[in-house]
Structure 1
């Protein structure tokens, strides 16, 4: 609805501009011979085809709507993850088999990520958000009434496939709306959506499954996501500038009867199918050839694999060790949330530290190199192995369970610091291509997470909490230098990157 009104308003603005500009009248323009590049449409000053020119209120509204979309769909992704026992009893399968429903949701997200970013860079963000979310609602409704285990697995996979676009391209929307300087203050708040949704849903799900019925975890998630979708349908506009320029070029062609007006993406004359094919290859290209994506991708894979392993691992860490209920064990996710919020609340301290570093280098704050975004990750990285070793080595029945809850606070802090910093660096480095860059990472981390969700129970049963946490802590320790290496050498890496160097030269 909002994008349709936006399209109509843009036509009105284009018509007004044509009427007041001093170039030859439309009748002359349509007969005037031009070169291919003479009438390439571009944003002009305060042109509304660049979302960064919109009013702060308008951009803030879009910011809030996309945040809610991401939060609600993150919630739906894990809302049934803590119902293994009642759901497995209902379908007469093992708890490990029941965890496959969460795993296939993640696989759906991973596969959909191959299409999500490129599709949004071809047809625009708005239709991708709205159509995919509607499909997600339909499949989630079907999941809640699944008559058997096979149907539930299939429907949860399709739900994950439908949620993938929103969970993959939101970083691109942020790049559409804000300048690099503005993103430094907005991104930490924005990033709370994809972090907190999957973390808080298991808390509610654990208690809902105990007190009401396991299907209610899906129904409540469905109701929440439906309300957010209706808000987005009414108020969410298109933000991707190349698509808005296509709108503008289309209006100019119609108003002047001059078919020479083209958007930059139309200059080569490629059809929609060819542009889609070109864009679909980007996520694979990014993860196979972009060193920044490879390094930060593996780091993000690790922290999300660990985080999602807690969906089943908490039963062993807290329920089996201390004999507490599933709902109370799920409170560890509240501790993770506390750690995330601590990291977000101390954002001004990171900003102050960046200013100090820049003053030492005699540079202005508005010309901050993307690498300084990684200071946050560099500070938070050591807390990841510390929290995992702490959680594992204090997991004994004669040690107060409060120790484990405190350890997960530090894990939440490290999770947030690494995630926010890495994504901000990728968005700043790739800007227009950030949708595909982030989609490539989304694909990889959800594939690995899906595998570990299923393997978690056998792994904890086979080698115990202490060894599992030691292995994960050791891997985390090995990756601690990654942010520091990129802070030191990231500018050289970006200079050798086809996509990052193109953004830097723009």
Structure 2
């Protein structure tokens, strides 16, 4: 609860907030086992929904043959259109969670995801499949968008990095490990079974979510408390100290809906950091969507099942990056606390972490491109992919936690802004992948991407030095 809200509760008997700093109903004071059970369940959701983005990627050639299409751009788009759904879903998921709470958003989205997955499995033509793939991404974006908000609701700043690293496994690992299983499902069954299995898993998680997802959003919990006390006391003047009483619910909903876009376009720290993350994320999806061709018939001649195994290095790199950078960001905060100083968001952007992430993402793209171009043994480009994903997680973890710490009250909207930008780039950049490789080759094509990363890599360093000043100058009503 903010200092202003605490002051209101202390001076106005009708203002309802938490019952002191140790109120057990406050998610910040929940037992660790309850907090981590919530994080793990949300993480399971965020692993499942990104699986849909790439799990069937090894089966794209079969899908194109079944639907009698030879359009290479369409072959890439049927994979990346899912990520386009990720771009629009957060614009609804984040504001709804900041009005009606996190839990109901998770549960509604989980059910919708299962329905749209079944629709994809039953697709009879490419248009139907693309439409349902988009809707899958739209519904599946909810746990990715709101998960960070739930973590911010439960964990203090010095423990937030570790929790974020567990939650972040879903959005990053899902697209990476999905094709490993997908390759063999496609080879020994068919591509439709990928979606039937996802629907079954989604149904199980949806059922678990209905009973086990705990509401964490503070204003929603206090609002429930207010309604209960009104009934018990008969006092209609009681009100929620965590909500702005100068606006109506309709006005709050309107403000919440436009908030992610305001954050994205009117706050320079979010705008520039989102661009950096979007480019890195788009390159990841470009890689994922072209692995079938790079490690398949074009360069290495892997079978459909074996092509799925080529995604394993992405998962390895992501796991190492998540664990390391999540721990390092918390370590920087604890260092400042030990000195008796108040942590600041810029602690998340320590120079050595930013440099490490920037160098590994850039170098690995040159490494990957030229080793594929020269048909060096397949282990060489795969190691490069693992290194890229390690650096990618360095960028993602430091930037996301930094922006959440900057705008903690609107964490879900901040991540929504980040997700919108990165998903649009992630949807459309891969469409240029095959044509870029055809014109420039794998070497110069990936070198071009490496130079782009090199240009954007200093962005976090700029905010490490000037972030506090920029936040003070650009203050908007959210």
TM surpasses 0.5: yes
2:63 aligned residue: 87
Q: Which residue does 2:16 correspond to in 1?
A: 41
Q: Secondary structure at the match of 1:411?
A: helix
Select which of 349, 352, 372 maps to 1:374.
349
- Please state if 1:363 is matched with 2:344: no
Shift of 1:476: 0.5
1:472 match: 449
Number of aligned positions between the proteins: 465
- Structure-1 separation of matches of 2:73 and 2:346: 42
Quick check: 404-413 or 325-334, which moved more?
A: 325-334
> Hey, what's the Cα distance between the residues in 2 that align with 1:393 and 1:356?
42
2:208 maps to 1:228: no
Query: What is the match of residue 35 of structure 2?
Result: 59
1:460 aligns with 2:434: no
Give the counterpart of 1:342 among 314, 320, 327. Answer: 320
In structure 1, the residue matched to 2:266 is 289
Larger Rg: 1
- What CA deviation, in whole Å up to 9, does each residue of 1:459-492 have, x standing for no partner? 2223221122011100001112122222222222
How many Å apart are 1:449 and its aligned residue?
Answer: 1.2
Rounded to whole Å, the distance in 1 between the matches of 2:197 and 2:315 is 20
The alpha-carbon deviation at position 265 of structure 1 amounts to 5.3
Cα distance in 2 for partners of 1:331, 1:199 equals 10
Which residue in the other structure is 2:299 paired with?
Answer: 321
Residue 4 of structure 1 corresponds to which residue in structure 2? none
Question: Which runs of structure 2 are paired with 1:28-427 in the superposition (5 Å)?
Answer: 38-45=13-20, 46-94=22-70, 95-264=72-241, 267-268=244-245, 270-319=247-296, 320-347=298-325, 350=328, 354=332, 358=336, 363-364=339-340, 367-375=342-350, 376-427=353-404
Instruction: Give the Cα–Cα distance (whole angstroms) in 1 for the partners of residues 23 and 331 of structure 2.
Output: 35
- Residue 234 of structure 1 deviates from its aligned partner by 1.2
Q: 1:469 to 1:439 in 2, by over 3 A?
A: same
Report the alpha carbon displacement of residue 76 of structure 1 after superposing the two structures with TM. 2.1
* TM-score calculated relative to the size of structure 1: 0.86
Q: Is the 8 A contact 1:136 1:163 kept in 2?
A: yes
* Change over 3 Å in CA distance of 1:352–1:163 after alignment to 2: closer
Shift of residue 261 of structure 1?
Answer: 0.5
Task: Report if aligned partners of 1:206, 1:326 keep a CA contact under 8 Å in 2.
Answer: yes
Q: Report how far residue 358 of structure 1 moved.
A: 4.1
CA contact under 8 A between 2:373 and 2:443: conserved in structure 1?
Answer: no
User: Is the 8 Å Cα contact of residues 168 and 322 (structure 2) preserved in structure 1?
Assistant: no
Distance in 2, matches of 1:354 and 1:252, equals 42
- TM-score when scaled to structure 2? 0.91
Provide, for residues 7-41 of structure 1, a one-character-per-residue CA deviation record: whole Å limited to 9, x for no partner: xxxxxxxxxxxxxxxxxxxxxxxxxxx9x954121
Deviation at residue 75 of structure 1 after TM alignment: 1.2
How far is 1:148 from its partner? 1.9
Q: CA deviation at 1:496?
A: 2.7
Q: Please, what is the CA RMSD of the aligned residues? A: 2.4
Deviation digits for residues 421-475 of structure 1 (CA, Å, limit 9, x no counterpart) = 1111111111111111110111111111111233322222232211220111000
Unmatched tracts of structure 1, length 5 or more: 1-33
SS at match of 1:99: helix
Contact 1:316 1:465 (C-alpha < 8 Å) held by counterparts: no
CA contact (8 A) 2:372 2:442 kept: yes
- My pick for the range that moved more, 229-238 or 322-331, is 322-331
| Cα distance, 1:242 vs structure 2 | 0.5
Retained in 2: the 8 A contact 1:321–1:397? no
Counterparts of 2:261 and 2:403 in 1: how far apart (Å)?
Answer: 16
Residues 273 and 41 of structure 1, relative CA distance in 2, 3 Å threshold: same
Alpha-carbon distance in 1 for matches of 2:46, 2:456: 28
